[in-house]
Amino acid sequence: MKLCKRVVIKVGTSTVTHSTGKLNLLRMETLAREIADLQSSGREVCLISSGAVGAGVGKINFPDRPKTLPEKQALAAIGQGRLVHMYEKFFSEYGKTVAQVLLTRDVFSNRLRYLHARHTLSTLFDFGVIPIINENDTVAVDEIKFGDNDTLSAMLACLIDADLLIILSDIDGLFSDDPRINPEARLLPLVEEVSKDLLARSRTKGSKLSSGGMFTKLAAARIVMTSGIPMIIANNKEPNILRRLLDGEELGTLFVPSGSPVQARKQWIAFGSSPHGRIVIDDGAAEAIRKRGKSLLPSGIVKVEGKFSRGEVVSIVDQDEVEIARGMVNFSSDEIGIIAGHHTDEIEKLLGSTDYDEVVHRNNLALV
């Protein structure tokens, strides 16, 4: 932990707001002081903060959790400015400058925008500025309806090549079972694999004003672990939590990354990109991709779904409809429909010309 220089810190709605929806100013001030101290020690810190919708609820005394999309977007618009204004006030007391960065999913799905965002954040670090990041809830329909800042924090950690992701919440970490239901549930201090069974047992929601829960935190852990980045879930109510974690104190749950991190390009293909279609493959092709690291050849393709062009990212699924990989295709959907099931030496005859033998080369293919 002491060697981690670039750190992403994500705080949930329960950290920065009271149950009433009003901003928790004491918690925000404490958080700003701790992050300012981390930066003064020579670290680069990026803060991802939920709470815009909750702050909007508190600002206009909205009676309950918003239910419709227009309500959520309007409350996010009201609350986001208030949220950042308070952060700016608290950080300035410690001589720190902050920058608001609002992101949408298309930043991660478009390679050029992805690189621009990476360069912008890197420059902010060079300037000694602390980026405060949130999803642009007012326009990001999918985020408000289905998404969460846990996933955003994981994708951002990959984007900037972070050394550590810390998710602060109102829980002590990952438990063997839901401690609110099972008093015998025990805290898991170390997790080396986020299994399907673990995900299935963790489909819980957070507070009434949040959009996440333990399931989304585990999904975030899978992303960063694959990319070689450790992640910690810890309780925001612990005093001096950030300094204690980065001093190596064993608090919360540490998710240990895999030994072979995915390359940055494959990170983008696997987690940043939005698939433009699907390719269904047979069992032989699925095994070759999963276990032997092979390219996808036309002979293993069963069918194509959707319309896409050369160079776009597609989802590769097996015959049980399980996504096993994403890849950047060398042929359009129409061309793949023609050569599907055929051997590579038949491509030129079927299409009139050929530039590639592989539909997706293994260098442009990432397991998910």
How confident is the model over 87-107, as a mean pLDDT?
92
Name the residue with tokens 């901003």: 23
How high is the pLDDT of residue 195? 80
216 labelled as ligand-binding? Answer: yes
Question: Where are the chain's structural domains?
Answer: 6-265, 275-367
Residue recorded with tokens 């929806």: 21
The pLDDT score that the predictor gives to residue 147 is: 60
To the question of whether residue 227 is assigned a binding role by annotation, the answer is no
**Tokens standing for 293?**
């690291």
pLDDT at residue 260, rounded to an integer? 65
Residue 125 pLDDT > 70, yes or no? Answer: yes
Pick from 219-228, 317-326, 341-350: least confident: 219-228
* pLDDT score of 244: 95
Give the model's confidence band at 144: pLDDT under 50 very low, under 70 low, under 90 confident, else very high.
very low
Assigned fold of 275-367 = 2.30.130
Q: Which long-range contacts (CB under 8 A, 24 or more apart) does 106-111 make?
A: 106/274, 108/155, 108/159, 108/268, 108/271, 108/272, 108/273, 108/274, 109/272, 109/273, 109/274, 111/268, 111/273
Q: pLDDT, tens digit, for every residue of 127-142?
A: 999 999 998 877 765 5
pLDDT of residue 101: 94
The pLDDT mean for the chain works out to 87
| Per-residue pLDDT at 162 exceeds 90 | yes
pLDDT at site 43: 95
pLDDT of residue 51 exceeding 90: no
**Fold agreement between 6-265 and 275-367:** no
Secondary structure (3-state) at 198: helix
Say if residue 56 carries a ligand binding annotation: no
* 19 annotated ligand-binding residue: no
Average pLDDT on 62-72 reads 79
Which of residues 62 and 188 earns the better pLDDT score?
A: 188
Least trusted range by pLDDT, from 102-106, 146-150, 291-295: 146-150
Q: Which of 107-116, 144-153, 203-212, 244-253 is the least confident region?
A: 203-212
| Helix, strand, or coil (residue 129) | coil
**Percent of the chain having pLDDT more than 70?**
92
Q: Is pLDDT larger for residue 232 or for residue 18?
A: 232
Beta-strand relationship, 301-305 and 323-328: unpaired
The Cα-based distances of 299 to 131, 268, 287, 359 in angstroms read 48, 27, 14, 10
In sequence order, what are the residues at sequence separation of 6 or more whose Cβ sits closer than 8 angstroms to the Cβ of residue 309?
Answer: 276, 332, 333
**Binding site annotation covers 170?**
yes
Is 148 annotated in a binding site? The answer is no
pLDDT value for 31? 95
Closest CA to 201 of 220, 184, 176: 176
Reported as a pLDDT band with limits 50, 70 and 90, residue 168 is very high
**140-154, 216-230, 241-255: the lowest-pLDDT one:** 140-154
Tokens of 65: 């959790």
- Over 60: is that where the pLDDT of 27 sits? yes
What is the C-alpha separation between 174 and 187, in angstroms, rounded? 6
Query: Torsion angle of alpha carbons 85, 86, 92, 93, nearest 10°?
Result: 150
- Is position 50 annotated in a ligand binding site? yes
Whole-number percent of the chain with pLDDT over 90: 52
User: Is 155 assigned a ligand-binding role in the annotation?
Assistant: no
Q: For position 261, what pLDDT does the model report?
A: 67
Q: What is the pLDDT of residue 135?
A: 85
Tell me how crowded residue 281 is: count the other CB atoms within 10 A of its CB.
26
Q: Is the pTM of this model over 0.75?
A: yes
Q: Give the pLDDT of residue 336.
A: 96
Q: Is 137 annotated as a binding residue?
A: yes
CA atoms in the 13 A half-sphere facing the CB of 349: 5
Structure confidence at residue 119 (pLDDT): 87
C-alpha–C-alpha distance, residues 191 and 108, integer Å? 27
Q: pLDDT at position 59, please?
A: 83
- Does the annotation list 182 as a binding residue? no
What digits encode the pLDDT tens for the residues 175-208? 887 777 888 888 999 999 888 778 777 765 454 4
Domain over 6-265 is classified CATH 3.40.605.10? no
N-term to C-term CA, the chain: 27
Q: Is 217 annotated as a binding residue?
A: yes
Give the pLDDT of residue 270.
Answer: 79
Q: Which of 14-28, 36-50, 204-218, 226-240 has the lowest mean pLDDT?
A: 204-218
Tell me the mean pLDDT in the region 260-267. 70
